[in-house]
Amino acid sequence: MQIESILPARSFARFKIGRTEYNTKESVSGILFALPCIVLSIIFVFLPIFISLMYAFTDANMLRLDRVTFVGLENFARAFEDPDIVNALRNTAIFVACVTPLQFGASLGLAVLLNRVRHCNTFLRWAFFIPVMLSLAVTSMLWMNLLNVQEGLINTFIEILGGERQGFLEDPTQALYCIVFISAWQGAGYQMLIFLSALQNIPKDLYEAASIDQASKWQQFIHITLPSIKPTMVFVLITMLIGAFRICIQPMVMTGGGPLGSTMTMSYYIYKTGIDYRDVGYSSAIALLYTFLIATVSLGLRKLLGGDNQK
């Protein structure tokens, strides 16, 4: 990552740090240009990380931040014995394990479909993309009403079709899966767009050559399409996975973590312990552990899948 000075400098005053030589005037203007960003990043990007690191080893409480005592590894020890964490981790794992394949498959499938269908192509693209325009809060509130037990549209339909009313978000066995579906429904159109542009970038002559060689459509898909969009797939998979690990708004708005803690996710639990229970020290400790977990998964996947060449 070589950053060379390209602009001609008027002053030739120079100074050295280590082995690198800098033009004084250029350095001053460079730092001044970047200063607002540097200052704000230090306060709101690095300081929060530092504060988490610091508070994780204390009994800090939101109500008495001035009286903080060092407790060593107590918070971490507590985290490993906390049944709520086991529950939140399990819920998050189920969510990630369900939503990632569903949303990935849906977005790739939709992109392949759109790439093939010629009629109404623009209409279809907009139709699949419309849920993306809804914010997570709006999506959550909309589906909350659609899935309402007594008067929701879905239950009304089920009853017309002769089925039994479902609990959906109020049923501990269904709530998490409802959130999985809603999240995939809202997000799939976005990744579809990424896949679609990757598909359209595949050179057409590859397919022509393949069809001359009598390759079937399925063989073409396996041997041309998939390898061509592999970097995009890796990229989408990793961003989707990290996004799924961070799920928070949907349970926050729709269920508040309930019923019976069945939709309490890690991110929401970290927020809840820190803000609602005011247990900043403990919240920081779990946030650290969770960051470590996500980072390991994401870096591991990057390594395993050969990295994404898009960046």
Nearer Cβ to other proteins (71/248): 248
The encoded tokens of residue 201 equal 């970038």
Beta bridge partners of 20: 17
Residue 140 Cβ vs other proteins, minimum distance, rounded to whole Å: 9
- Minimum CB distance to other proteins, residue 294 (Å): 5
Q: How buried is 46 (Cβ within 10 angstroms: 0-12 exposed, 13-18 middle, 19+ buried)?
A: exposed
We find the least distance from the C-beta atom of residue 226 to other proteins, in angstroms, to be: 18
* Rounded CA Rg of the chain: 25
What's the min distance (Å) between Cβ of 176 and other proteins? 19
Q: How buried is 37 (Cβ within 10 angstroms: 0-12 exposed, 13-18 middle, 19+ buried)?
A: exposed
- Residue 87: which residues within 8 A CB-CB, separation 6 or more? 261, 264
Minimum CB separation from other proteins for residue 168, in Å?
A: 14
How far is it, in rounded angstroms, from Cα 240 to Cα 98? Answer: 12
Which conformational region is residue 83 in: left (phi greater than 0), alpha (psi within -120 to 50 degrees), or beta? alpha
- In whole angstroms, give the CA distance from residue 233 to residue 79: 35
**Which is nearer to other proteins, 7 or 304 (by Cβ)?**
7
The CA-to-CA distance between both ends of the chain, in Å, stands at 13
Minimum Å gap between C-beta 7 and other proteins is 6
What is the β-pairing status of strands 14-17 and 20-23?
antiparallel
Cβ closest to other proteins, residue 131 vs residue 257: 131
Nearer to other proteins, 173 or 201 (CB): 201
147: tokens are: 């899935």
CB of 173 or CB of 219, closer to other proteins: 219
Of all helices (H) and strands (E), which one includes residue 175?
helix 175-200
Of 85 and 194, nearer to other proteins (C-beta) is 194
> What is the closest distance, in whole angstroms, from the C-beta atom of residue 73 to other proteins in the complex?
19
Q: Which is nearer to other proteins, 173 or 291 (CB)?
A: 291
Least Cβ distance, residue 93 to other proteins (angstroms): 15
Please, which residues have CB within 8 angstroms of residue 94's CB and are 6 or more apart in sequence?
176
Whole-number Å distance between alpha carbons of 296 and 311: 19
- Quote the tokens at residue 69: 């005592």
